[in-house]
Structure 1
Amino acid sequence: MLKAGVIGTGMIGQDHIRRMTTVLAGVTVTAVTDVDLEVAKRVAGGLPGTVVHGSGEDLIADPAVDAVVVCSWGPTHERYVLAAIAAGKQVFCEKPLATTERACRRIVEAESAAGRRLVQVGYMRRYDGAYRALKAVVDSGAIGTPLMMHCAHRNAGVPAFYEKESAITDTAVHEIDMVRWMFGEEITAARVLVPRRNRNGGGLQDPLFLILELTGGAIVDVEISVNIRYGYDIRGEVIGEDGTAALGDLTPVTVRTARHLTAPIPSDWRERFASAYDVELQEWIDSLAGGGTPAGPSAWDGYAAAVVSDASVAALRTGSRVEVTLMPRPALYDPA
């Protein structure tokens, strides 16, 4: 039984605690902490035997914690992930791995020096049934060599603290990781086009149109619309030499009445990707059984996503094409 400690008991932390205690197998939550200890205490109150620690470092040092789940505020991720690596403990870190390229590089270097995989980053798209089915078609060669991919990432609305660049760093970063995984290639350059503003976007420049170039010459576009009102809508279509493959209709039911066809639309990411989060954490837990190592998104993936995200932000600011330059990839992250 894996004994997990959770750093950060806000919305996503509480959701992961719920799935680890009521949905998943092979894991128990033995410790929690949060910058607001009163929140952590309330959460622990519903978990018999769970200890509340005064800091993330104390939780990591607890011998009753085998593995760490980091769900705290993004700027704190680096210090907790580095502490877990130093302690030789497995760590699942919600995205981002860290908030700067340099911080991600330090994590990659620390894990590489440790000589084994200890870090998994929470990019849940890789665990979604529809995305996995799409990748299976692409990998099979059924549509020939993939040439392009069209993506859309649409939110009904975003919080008040959302900033102009958040459309890339917090929203499109999911597509950035997914594209690297889908094509099995690195992203080499980014451009951002700025369409007419959505009147619902307040002071944001919304929508945006992100264009990514890949190592093998494929091009991917991502429509980012974060105030489109009607719901949470994720789309993806790969165009190959011999055909196309697209994410299927994820609506469980359609209704036909009075000459109209209607279907429900997810309200947010929690509804759309609920099962992906379940699969993601269960596979992470299973991978650690018997002293194993995680097979999911690595520290290198977190680093690469950060570098591409930074390049995309630079493209947004300058209006020009920005090339992506990655550090040499350590052997630890070479494909199996």
Structure 2
Amino acid sequence: MRRRLWTCGVLALSLACGSDPGVDPPTDFRDGPPAGNPEGTCAIPDEGRLADTSSPDQIVGDGTPESCTSQAFVAAVAQGGVITFDCGPDPVTIVLDETARVFNDTGPDIVIDGGGLVTLSGGGRRRILYMNTCDPAQRWTTSHCDDQDHPRLTVQNLTFVDGDASGEMDEGGGAIFVRGGRFRVIRSRFFHNRCDEVGQDVGGGAIRVLDQFQDQPVHVVESTFGGGEELGNECSNGGGLSSIGVSYTVVNSLFSHNRALGNGANPAQPGTPGGGSGGAIYNDGNTFTLRLCGVAIRDNHANEGGGAIFFVSNDRSGSLVIERSTLERNPSDGFETDGYPGIFVLASGDPDVRESTITQ
């Protein structure tokens, strides 16, 4: 896999922007699918509805593409609150010079809304967005960082491309890494994000989440992960989503061409680095739930288990619910659960499948 380098801070899609000859430009996502599964018809839960951004606290840009810089965006995230963009009427891509980091004493509600026009790029060199309540560099705000109710981060109407968390100590989350507080994703797209290619505990080519407040679920609503061969997200485990002990509720969303690249599974087999499970989604831990409604999971791949979904509840208290969804063509090269193509599941019982199609 070639790493991409782009030298401009912001690129309007209609504008030219110089780069090193012989260096790949950013991923071309203009022909990528829109946010969400067009076939999904499930009701949106209250926690999955768009946040109100009518009175923003921070506005990135002054009406021109050139004003929407990496520095301006990183500074806005550091200040927190409701963040919107004013980059002109056309789509723009902001290529980040550094990862944007949420500080835990801002907010407590932090909303980043791209208005459907803004793409955030890691340039193939860095993670795009980071939040961690247990990281002292981001300022501790409670004595129980692994179970606190803030910050509450929402990303909506955004596209995340070319994020790369390879080599990061936090073990995953190519586009977004979150630990603690609350987190949700609404009407957003994730293209060609990645993290380390091998490792038994590395996951989340697009998103990695740990330690949500009171074990409440992360909502992923009307969002797209991949969508084409060159747009798929990839990591050792969980090309799209990854978590340990965290529940997800995924509604009217699309996952395609995401890949779990590791080998040796978890725990790693002798002589292997481990990983390779959950082409689209990887969930591990004890008591947690994955709920899918109106979701399409197609053409994802795992070198080991669960070309679509890897779901392991170690104490068998967790549950997998699949409703009004389609899972097809998600090969698992190593192993999967009999009768559930593309899925490896160890839970409180068999997956609860309602009005859904699951095929090879």
TM-score normalised to the size of structure 1? 0.27
**Structure with the larger strand share:** 2
Give the greater-gyration-radius structure (CA): 1
Structure with more of its chain in helix, by fraction: 1
- Structure number with the bigger relative contact order (C-alpha 8 A, sep ≥ 6) is 1
